[in-house]
Structure 1
Amino acid sequence: MIICSCQKRTQCNIKDQNNKAKFDKLIVQAHLYSKKTINSDSAFYFFNEAKLLCNPKSDTENYIRILNSMASLQLSHGDYIGSETTLTEAMPYLKYIKKPLLVWDTYMTLGSNYFNTFDFKNALLYYNKALNLKINESKQFSTKTKIGNVLAEEKKYLEALNVFLSLADEIGVLKTSEEYAYLLNNIGFCYFKLDNPEGLTYINEALKIRTNLKNHTGIALSNLTLARYYDENNNSSAAKKFGLIAYSNLNDLQNIEDKQSALKLLIKNSNEDELKKYSMQYIDLIEHLFQIRQEAKNQFARIKYNSKREKEENLKLKTHKSENDLKLEKQKNKNIVSYIIIILSLFLVIILYFYLTSKANKEKIEAAYNSETRISKKLHDELANDIYHTMAFAENKNLSLEENKEQLLNNLDVIYSRTRDISKENYVITTDENYISSLKEMIYGLSTSNISIILNGLDIISWNEINKNKKITVYRVIQELLVNMRKYSDASVVGIDFKIVNKNLHVNYTDNGKGIDTDKMVFKNGLYNVKNRIQKIKGQIEISSAINQGFKVFFKFPL
């Protein structure tokens, strides 16, 4: 829907008719490639080229429409962080848009990015923003459905049920449609989660409608819901039966994420021989999913990087051309030397300005690209080790034993969640009025049943008066310290104290872990990042520790 809207033959406010024709051609090419299941990176490339021809201030609607399409492509390939980054370019211009559908597209894509990265709070925020726009009934239905899905994922099943029931009443005469079947399936899911026996009736009714419609995707999802129902009701044979049906249908549809859910149910409800088979298929599926998503992320990033670099090189060529024109002018006008000197000076200033600006931008682009490559390598290295050990476990252990089966399921969950955790470490940090909530959420998210984290003074700091970059530094430094604590220290209690002294923010971090020998301490990896971040904001840091005496870090910086 988002991509198709970009095909509209809107007028681009570009004076050069050659650019206007080029813009229209790029949009047509992007639209053609976006319809294909392969070569989606070509669609992204043409959208990106068209974006460079648009002035966001004078041609805002086309600019937003293109960014929505690019972000939608990234979302469909699992590049959730990249999709959100693309939409941040659109956010400053949404207030100038008169067509609510464009803003709705932006909010819905943002909500989906947050939903798929398990940030349900922000997903609900943007879905509600989308719902508050002046949109038609079809868009309202889609938005409310998304809100119901978020509530269900948050295990607020009663609230989700009320949303789906109200939507089912609105459908009216369309009670044979896929939309109605989708709602019935979700209603049944919420009912059985609430221990209401009506759940099975709704799920079966949804399956019946989808079977009549010959909707193979819907049939697969209904069978998957039935498998979950019987699994939670301890009917292993029925759970396995419907899980196999769902998995078979999903195999034909190449629906990777739902195949993963079906395999997980089959692993839980299978005997030893089948358990090994499904476990290996699960691991292969995760590796494949990671690979195709990472390839898409890298390709999208490479297109942006190369496009910006080409633009900078063209700018340099134009600058050199201006310099050559100046030399020719000087030869033709030897009798007005003074004017030539003035003009030459002005051009030299312009050249220097563009050179320095271009150099700085290139360094930023290369740094961003290198950062994405580093994150990709980190994901691969850490996942490879977990996958190797899990495969060895599945091959060598007796999986008919309940404890081995449970251990295998736990290992598989760790492999799948590891990619989400690393992505979260590199996610965009909120620095507005929600900063303190975001900081607390990160801190308490790193606590466990064995680790207690005590905060003191955090709420009395006037964070809104502190520079954005310094707030990001505080967030990242504390995150780095807590991650290191969980990996190495075996601490059970962590204390973090915040206070302002003489217009400086003081932060004290302590834990009761096993500590380190500071005389032999080398600043690398996490600790190097901590020290480097503090120094960049003109701060000071002190680290004190000893073996079996805990770990302490004090840092301060001027406000």
Structure 2
Amino acid sequence: MDKMIDFIKFLFYAIIILMNLTSCKDSSIIKNKRNHKISTKSQKKNSIINNDTIPFDYKEIFKLKKNKNISKLAYIYFNMGLYFLNKSKSDSAFYYFNHSKEAFLIENNYKFIGKSLINIAITQANEGDYIGSEESAVEALRYIKDLQNNTLLSAAYNCLAISKTELKDYDEAIKYYNMALQSSTNKISSINIKNNVAVVNIKAGNYINAIKILNNLNKDPFLSNLPLHQARIIDNLAYAKWLLNPYFKADKDFYYSLKVREQYSDLLGQIANHYHLSEYYENNNAKKAIFHANKMYDIALKLGNLDDQQVAIKKIIPITSQSSSIKYYFNLYEKISDSINSKRVQAKNKFALMSYEVERNKEENASLKAENAQKSYQLLKQSVIFGSLSFLAILILVFLIFWYQRRKAKFRQEKTEEVHRTKLKYSKKIHDEVANGIYFLMVQLENNSDIRPTKIIDELELLYQKSRDISHDAEFNLDLKDDFSITLRNMIKPYGAKYTKIILIGNEPHIWENISINKKEEIYYILKELMTNMKKHSKADIVTLKFKKEDSTIIIEYSDNGIGLSGSFINSYKDLTDIKKRLNPIQGSYFIDSEKKRGFAIKIIISI
């Protein structure tokens, strides 16, 4: 009978592990929600909205919209977003921050555009939408990068670090936390960031690095007036030491931290301590392990924190000895998992719908403007109709006079165009195969001083062969036998220099499945053209390339924060005509974001 019970326990535990492989090795920031609150706490004082003023503010919004007072409306939207974010009402917060962003865009207020986007990123992270949070934080950086505002930069990098941590990209998370630390101007904020770097090291299994960071923090005399911060550091330090050495006696430090957190009613901190104590006693005192896991569950239930409830139940199942209890906890675990998944899906859908509504409103406003312009045009047309008829009569007469001459010239023009097309054909080949190849080699030499001479010779030999092929009218085909995502990454990587960061999003192997070689080759040269123009002219320090597959199309979104389509830079984009010629045969099209206030953005859509 005992063997049967043990088998049932093992079976249930194995199923749970397979269903949820995520590990929570530091409950001090189990879902990083404490970090999110750190980012918004300092903003709370800026919000002048409360429960009593909400009805007034709704009326004020209606009045301001009617009077088209965009400037004041933007700040009302922003404060409404802060109010709902502090109330943990993510959908409302997301809605108002989105509207504040759009209003501040009209005002060209880059500081508050960045603030709105950072708060959107925080809201998305709070609801588990970490990819969306990352995209919003990257967008915020485009607007605040040149403002020299360290507080905003630190907040944006902190958002990126949180998202990378939750997506288990720990190296990137540490990189962004260090960037946030460089921008931090607040001592407490710096301590929190260093603690978070240590936590990410613990998650990554780098216990020695974590211990070194936490030991230095623990020696800081500044912490003597911050008992809760000190308790968190002592707790994490003991946990890292115990993970490094299972014989380390960590219970004394765990209980000390727990006592401090109970004294100051720090419920999130208590959850962390009970998790550490449950794990600490798991293999040598099942009774205590279950006790602390239950305490963790009770506090998480009180806070309405489903993630921590799930973690607590997951700790209880493998160490409980009663088969009836295993069944109860297993059913409870499944119920909580369903609730978490449902909540996150609903949040993502709501965020997507609200973003769509904002874009639709912009389109409706543009349509209304076009309608008003059309009415004005009709009035103007009626006032000059007789003059127009006279002009039309003259135009017809001129057409009849020159029609015969144009007909005779048509044949000569066709011959000229044929010659021109032939020139363009070879010019295009030389530009794509030789000129861009030479510039690509220059970029590699510029960014990689250790490149082998034999590699340079091989590249030059390849360029020589291409030029010979062109002279013999032979077609040159790009070798695309390797994974196309790797081919693109290797082509794009050299364009990222010391002061230019290139962010690739969505360039995964499955994106390029079922795409013909011909279309891949055209995509390769189109992106190479964009990167070459960026390198030569844009002066951008952040470049983003995002790849998506939707239904039967591939969507490529390029954007940078350079000088945009202005000054001498516009001349470099005359090659957009060549891009269009490349896209036409492969059922593709492009759209330039002409409303973008900063930098350059183009969306390329290709039918699969």
Question: What's the TM-score, normalizing by structure 2?
Answer: 0.55
Hey, what does 2:43 align to over in structure 1? 5
Using the TM superposition, give the Cα deviation of residue 336 of structure 1 relative to its aligned residue in structure 2, in angstroms.
4.4
Q: What amino acid is aligned across from residue 99 of structure 1 in structure 2?
A: N
Hey, what does 2:327 align to over in structure 1? 276
Q: Percent of counterpart pairs with the same letter?
A: 23
Match of 1:475 among 493, 508, 513: 508
CA distance in 2 between partners of 1:150 and 1:312 (Å): 43
Using the TM superposition, give the Cα deviation of residue 207 of structure 1 relative to its aligned residue in structure 2, in angstroms.
1.3
State yes or no: 1:137 paired with 2:182.
no
CA distance in 1 between partners of 2:152 and 2:164 (Å): 19
Q: Which secondary structure state, in structure 2, belongs to the residue aligned with residue 135 of structure 1?
A: coil
Residues 71 and 104, structure 2, Cα contact 8 Å, conserved in 1: no
Change (3 A) 1:477 1:73: closer
CA distance in 1 between partners of 2:103 and 2:390 (Å): 36
Hey, what does 2:353 align to over in structure 1? 302
State yes or no: 1:227 paired with 2:278.
yes
CA distance in 2 between partners of 1:81 and 1:461 (Å): 20
Task: Name structure 1 gaps, 5 residues minimum.
Answer: 11-15, 342-432, 434-453, 482-499, 505-526, 540-559
| CA-to-aligned-CA distance 1:170-219 (integer Å, 9 cap, x gap) | 15463662111111111111111122524222111111212222333322
State yes or no: 1:154 paired with 2:204.
yes
| CA-to-aligned-CA distance 1:408-438 (integer Å, 9 cap, x gap) | xxxxxxxxxxxxxxxxxxxxxxxxx9xxxxx
Q: What amino acid is aligned across from residue 320 of structure 1 in structure 2?
A: E
CA distance in 2 between partners of 1:282 and 1:206 (Å): 28
Using the TM superposition, give the Cα deviation of residue 310 of structure 1 relative to its aligned residue in structure 2, in angstroms.
1.4
Match of 2:251 among 200, 210, 231: 200
Change (3 A) 1:215 1:327: same
Hey, what does 1:85 align to over in structure 2? 135
| CA-to-aligned-CA distance 1:518-543 (integer Å, 9 cap, x gap) | xxxxxxxxx9999989x99999xxxx
Range with greater deviation from structure 2 (173-182 or 142-151): 173-182
Q: Which secondary structure state, in structure 2, belongs to the residue aligned with residue 197 of structure 1?
A: coil
CA distance in 1 between partners of 2:214 and 2:133 (Å): 28
Hey, what does 1:244 align to over in structure 2? 294
| CA-to-aligned-CA distance 1:225-284 (integer Å, 9 cap, x gap) | 1001011x4332221122122222222222222222211110010121111111111111
Counting only pairs closer than 5 Å after superposition, residues 13-412 of structure 1 correspond to structure 2 as 18-38=69-89, 40-55=90-105, 58-172=108-222, 174=224, 177-195=227-245, 196-231=247-282, 233-271=283-321, 272-334=323-385, 336-337=387-388
Hey, what does 1:463 align to over in structure 2? 491
Q: What amino acid is aligned across from residue 464 of structure 1 in structure 2?
A: I
Change (3 A) 1:245 1:2: closer
Residues 107 and 127, structure 1, Cα contact 8 Å, conserved in 2: yes
Hey, what does 2:563 align to over in structure 1? none
Q: State the structure with bigger RCO (CA 8 A, min sep 6), 1 or 2.
A: 2
CA distance in 2 between partners of 1:68 and 1:322 (Å): 37
CA distance in 2 between partners of 1:220 and 1:327 (Å): 69
Change (3 A) 1:537 1:462: farther
Q: Which secondary structure state, in structure 2, belongs to the residue aligned with residue 150 of structure 1?
A: helix
Q: What amino acid is aligned across from residue 185 of structure 2 in structure 1?
A: I
Residues 277 and 289, structure 2, Cα contact 8 Å, conserved in 1: yes
Using the TM superposition, give the Cα deviation of residue 474 of structure 1 relative to its aligned residue in structure 2, in angstroms.
7.1
Residues 115 and 123, structure 1, Cα contact 8 Å, conserved in 2: yes
Q: Which secondary structure state, in structure 1, belongs to the residue aligned with residue 205 of structure 2?
A: coil
Q: What amino acid is aligned across from residue 43 of structure 2 in structure 1?
A: S
Residues 27 and 46, structure 1, Cα contact 8 Å, conserved in 2: yes
Range with greater deviation from structure 2 (207-216 or 97-106): 207-216
| CA-to-aligned-CA distance 1:358-390 (integer Å, 9 cap, x gap) | xxxxxxxxxxxxxxxxxxxxxxxxxxxxxxxxx
Residues 43 and 82, structure 2, Cα contact 8 Å, conserved in 1: no
Change (3 A) 1:44 1:339: farther
Q: Which secondary structure state, in structure 2, belongs to the residue aligned with residue 128 of structure 1?
A: helix
CA distance in 2 between partners of 1:460 and 1:19 (Å): 43
CA distance in 1 between partners of 2:316 and 2:584 (Å): 52
Residues 6 and 66, structure 1, Cα contact 8 Å, conserved in 2: no
Hey, what does 1:377 align to over in structure 2? none
Residues 47 and 83, structure 2, Cα contact 8 Å, conserved in 1: no
Report how many residues are paired. 378
Using the TM superposition, give the Cα deviation of residue 299 of structure 1 relative to its aligned residue in structure 2, in angstroms.
0.6
CA distance in 2 between partners of 1:55 and 1:132 (Å): 28
Q: What amino acid is aligned across from residue 151 of structure 1 in structure 2?
A: N
| CA-to-aligned-CA distance 1:140-170 (integer Å, 9 cap, x gap) | 1121111011000001111111111211221
Change (3 A) 1:45 1:184: same
| CA-to-aligned-CA distance 1:312-348 (integer Å, 9 cap, x gap) | 021011111101101112223446438999xxxxxxx
Change (3 A) 1:164 1:477: same
Using the TM superposition, give the Cα deviation of residue 63 of structure 1 relative to its aligned residue in structure 2, in angstroms.
0.6
Using the TM superposition, give the Cα deviation of residue 27 of structure 1 relative to its aligned residue in structure 2, in angstroms.
2.0
CA distance in 2 between partners of 1:104 and 1:472 (Å): 22
Residues 99 and 358, structure 2, Cα contact 8 Å, conserved in 1: yes
Q: What amino acid is aligned across from residue 338 of structure 2 in structure 1?
A: E
Q: What amino acid is aligned across from residue 243 of structure 2 in structure 1?
A: K
Larger radius of gyration: 2
Residues 164 and 170, structure 2, Cα contact 8 Å, conserved in 1: yes
CA distance in 2 between partners of 1:479 and 1:276 (Å): 45
Task: Name structure 2 gaps, 5 residues minimum.
Answer: 1-37, 49-66, 393-446, 448-481, 497-501, 515-520, 526-548, 556-581, 587-608
CA distance in 1 between partners of 2:47 and 2:168 (Å): 37
Residues 154 and 184, structure 2, Cα contact 8 Å, conserved in 1: no
CA distance in 1 between partners of 2:585 and 2:68 (Å): 51
CA distance in 2 between partners of 1:260 and 1:56 (Å): 44
CA distance in 1 between partners of 2:286 and 2:47 (Å): 56
Hey, what does 2:594 align to over in structure 1? none
Aligned-residue CA RMSD (Å): 4.0
Residues 2 and 65, structure 1, Cα contact 8 Å, conserved in 2: no
Q: What amino acid is aligned across from residue 509 of structure 2 in structure 1?
A: R
Hey, what does 1:547 align to over in structure 2? none
Change (3 A) 1:316 1:172: closer
CA distance in 2 between partners of 1:337 and 1:155 (Å): 79
Change (3 A) 1:530 1:305: closer
Hey, what does 2:420 align to over in structure 1? none
Question: What's the TM-score, normalizing by structure 1?
Answer: 0.60
Q: Which secondary structure state, in structure 2, belongs to the residue aligned with residue 97 of structure 1?
A: coil
CA distance in 2 between partners of 1:273 and 1:262 (Å): 18
Change (3 A) 1:538 1:88: farther
Q: What amino acid is aligned across from residue 176 of structure 2 in structure 1?
A: Y
Residues 114 and 120, structure 1, Cα contact 8 Å, conserved in 2: yes
Over 6 Å off, 4+ runs: 338-341, 458-461, 465-469, 471-474, 478-481, 527-533, 535-539
